[in-house]
Structure 1
Amino acid sequence: MIHQYKNNGYNIVLDVNSGSVHVVDDLVYDIIAIYEDCGQDEIVERLSGRYERDQILEALGEVRQLEEDGLLFTEDTYKDYIIDFKSRPTVVKALCLHIAHDCNLACKYCFAEEGEYHGRRALMSFEVGKKALDFLIANSGSRVHLEVDFFGGEPLMNFDVVRKLVEYGRSQEKIHNKKFRFTLTTNGVLLNDDVMEFANKEMANVVLSVDGRKEVHDRMRPFRNGQGSYDLIMPKFIKMAESRNQTNYYVRGTFTHYNTDFAKDVLSLADMGFKQISVEPVVAPPQEPYAITTEDVPILCEQYDQLAREMIRREKEGRGFNFFHFMIDLTGGPCVAKRLSGCGSGTEYLAVTPWGDFYPCHQFVGQEEFLMGNVDEGIVRTDIRDEFKMCNVYAKDKCRQCFARFYCSGGCAANAYNFNHSITDAYDIGCDLMRKRVECAIMIKAAQAALEEGE
């Protein structure tokens, strides 16, 4: 399977099954477009009005060599790999601990309903959290590295328990030959020097929630009295990022129908000195006024193009920054299982509520049909786990012919379910935006390679 496109002056050819990326001239680009459907004489005839015969034959030889080398028109070797997915032993690698089902903000797009997740406000006790970590250790097999994200609501509303659980986790590492990678997601309201010091010592990554420009952020992320939160949190976030030497953190925002010019929000964060940035599309029911519409998609795709071009310019000027959705690895990338099945929700990754219930991920919390078990009994609904085991790019009709399938790994199961009532479907707007992000990310790699060659 071949995907061809033009972006920012580059002719890019992606061989989907091998992952090979080629930046080619116009002639090779045109040959590849008709190569599988035409013989040599027809290719020469169809292109002779634009190119010399000798040039066409020479370029055709180059394309054939790439095919022989397994870099173009390769066969899909992954299809048979998924057959044993269901029979593979389940190893839990990560937990999302809902340390607080409560929040001190009233974000308008919050899928957690101000931290309540369709239920009651609650804080996780140390006892429940301890059982969750014990479950992770017991169900992680021989895997050494384990991940735990302190999530909410707002996890700093239960910071004492966060401290105690980190201490407990560290105490178990040598005993069980495990190493915990703790992360924290916060809206910043309760962030202070004490929390920063602790986070810089114990948290491998910190996610700081901010939507970009002040007017955009305050519109969607106010306090419950309606007052904006931007002025309070931003000095703290700047200090946090600097205290971590601009690494091992993200400022993470959400853009909506209200700010389809979201590239300005990304750049506003970069202008404030942030080097690790993620601004993502809101996922909301179509009846919500802030929901992204089908009509927004072309506008948003152009924004990604604009952002990619500006990132290249800034990189050349020594003012570069990382944008999460443009970060892809063309040399190796994730393992085959990850390329086929994605985040591992429901199998390798689970969410834990304050009272100890297991769900496939944080976005399924509160949907009782996806309640898998609890920290006392373990996974009771193994049928749910098995269903998620088989949720991969070959189980999804929309993924099979999509060039981006090995980069997005089939997209978000929760989004697919919430929009189409099936985890093996796909959220169409999300797919459109993902394809554009992949194209931009590859183009940036092409530009970086060209810059290095120029040096």
Structure 2
Amino acid sequence: MIHQYKNNGYNIVLDVNSGAVHVVDDIVYDLMKIVEKLLEEGVPEDVNALTRAALNEEILPYEEEEMKEALEEILALTAEGILYAPDIYEKYIGDFKNRETVVKALCLHIAHDCNLACKYCFAEEGEYHGRRALMSFETGKKALDFLVANSGNRINLEVDFFGGEPLMNWQVVKDLVTYGRSLEEANHKKFRFTLTTNGVLLNDEVMELVNKEMSNVVLSIDGRKSTNDKMRPHRGGQGSYEEIVPKFKKLAQSREQMNYYVRGTFTRNNQDFSEDVAHLADLGFEQISVEPVVAKPDEDYALREEDLDRLFAEYDKLALDLLERRRAGKPVNFFHFMVDLEGGPCVAKRLSGCGSGTEYLAVTPWGDLYPCHQFVGQEEFLMGNVDEGVVRTDIKEEFKTCNVYSKDKCKECFAKFYCSGGCAANSYNFKGDINDVYDLGCELQRKRIECAIMIKAALAE
């Protein structure tokens, strides 16, 4: 299975099953799709047979000898196993479904409350379809104990302090970090703490602890002042841009521009989102993520299918801008353009993604367990609590079998081993089934992968 496309003057061919990327000339590019079809029809892997068949199949502006030379190159790549490679993963899917899983990460909803009123917030300004609440230290301790007890032999564990706005419960964050560190040596574990914040309550004390204890920190900002303040205002309507930018810049610098992201959301209101990324880069941020909003179609800011062409063009524009910055010695890491073409994630992650519902769980302020933060408040996905553990093992088993081969739309998609089947929550919220897909998100993901590979190709010259 191959995927061919042209971008920024490059003819790019991705061999989906091997992960190999080829930048080719016009004749090889034109012949590749024909060869794939001919091989599927049973034409022998012989240069003369393929040349005759290709000449009969298509009218191409090339001489026979040119085609023969190009076909020899194609067959050589095929023999190396980096073109038209077979799918070696699907035959293991039975073993994959029956694999033993352990919990390795928790999203601690340290605060179901927020001091902003972001218009697109899936958490309903921090309430998650329920009541406002702050997690107690005792509940947080039980959550960390649950993680240690259910992590098997895994040493490295992850805990994200999330909300709402976690800094509204800062003392408990501090106390839980201390408690987590106290568990490490005796249990042969190592905690990796992260924090997601809107920055309103960010101060020197917070920065000091974050820099000492947090492996990563996510700083929420949508880009330009007009963009940010339209969608991320205070409850009284005033914008948040002016108060958070100086704090975010200070924190990014204090972390030497590493181990953080400024993370934004673009909506139908700012389809020129590459300008927001550029604005953040011009402010000095080097780790940036600006992601498409996921919203009900009736929301005025929701992205629609008719927006796709413009959004695709915007991603192309962004890719070129980031490429120019890198060549000028001012590199910016854009989260959705970061792909590893040499190593990449392990097989389990390639097939099933984030591990929600199995290896990754969300914990509410009162200790309830859900498959991930986006399912919190949907009672049909309540899996248990930190006192009793996971009692709805049927939900766990359902998520365990969710993979790129359980989704019909993923099977023939070139991006399946990069997105790992997409977000289960988005699939459920739009299609009522975690084994379906969020179609608009898939279109944008495919485009992002194309742009990311183009950047790699350009930098390899």
TM-score after normalising by structure 1:
0.98
What is the CA-CA distance between 1:49 and the residue it aligns to?
A: 5.0
Aligned length: 450
* C-alpha RMSD of the superposition: 1.0
Q: Deviation string for 1:154-184 (max 9, x for gaps)?
A: 0000000000000000011100110000000
Q: Deviation string for 1:64-107 (max 9, x for gaps)?
A: 01111101111111112221233222210100000000000000
Amino acid of the residue matched to residue 13 of structure 1?
V
Return the match for 1:113 from 82, 107, 124.
124
2:21 pairs with 1:10: no
Return the match for 1:383 from 381, 388, 394.
394
Q: Is contact 1:44-1:57 (8 Å) kept?
A: no
Return the match for 2:405 from 394, 406, 412.
394
Q: Is contact 1:14-1:21 (8 Å) kept?
A: yes
2:220 pairs with 1:206: no
Distance in 2 separating the partners of 1:377 and 1:310: 51
Return the match for 1:89 from 65, 80, 100.
100
Amino acid of the residue matched to residue 68 of structure 1?
A
Return the match for 1:288 from 291, 294, 299.
299
What is the CA-CA distance between 1:52 and the residue it aligns to?
A: 2.7
Match of 2:337 in 1: 326
Q: Is contact 1:247-1:276 (8 Å) kept?
A: yes
Distance in 2 separating the partners of 1:433 and 1:196: 34
Moved over 3 A (4+): 44-49
Q: Is contact 2:51-2:64 (8 Å) kept?
A: no
What SS is found at the alignment partner of 2:116? coil
Match of 1:453 in 2: none
Matches within 5 A, 1:74-223: 74-223=85-234
Amino acid of the residue matched to residue 313 of structure 1?
E
What SS is found at the alignment partner of 2:343? coil
Instruction: Note closer, same or farther for the CA distance 1:49–1:203 as it changes in structure 2 (3 Å cut).
Output: closer
Distance in 1 separating the partners of 2:455 and 2:57: 32
Matches within 5 A, 1:303-382: 303-382=314-393
Distance in 2 separating the partners of 1:385 and 1:184: 26
Amino acid of the residue matched to residue 454 of structure 2?
M
What is the CA-CA distance between 1:53 and the residue it aligns to?
A: 2.3
What is the CA-CA distance between 1:51 and the residue it aligns to?
A: 2.0
What is the CA-CA distance between 1:33 and the residue it aligns to?
A: 1.6
In structure 1, stretches of 5+ residues that fail to align are: 451-455
Distance in 2 separating the partners of 1:176 and 1:36: 53
Match of 2:51 in 1: 40
- Percent identical pairs in the alignment equals 71
What SS is found at the alignment partner of 2:36? coil
Return the match for 1:251 from 253, 257, 262.
262
Q: Is contact 1:97-1:352 (8 Å) kept?
A: yes
Amino acid of the residue matched to residue 30 of structure 2?
D
Distance in 1 separating the partners of 2:438 and 2:174: 38
Distance in 2 separating the partners of 1:437 and 1:336: 21
Distance in 2 separating the partners of 1:400 and 1:327: 23
What is the CA-CA distance between 1:431 and the residue it aligns to?
A: 0.3
Amino acid of the residue matched to residue 11 of structure 1?
N
In structure 2, stretches of 5+ residues that fail to align are: 39-49
Return the match for 2:438 from 427, 433, 441.
427
2:41 pairs with 1:30: no
TM-score after normalising by structure 2:
0.96
2:275 pairs with 1:261: no
Distance in 1 separating the partners of 2:253 and 2:137: 31
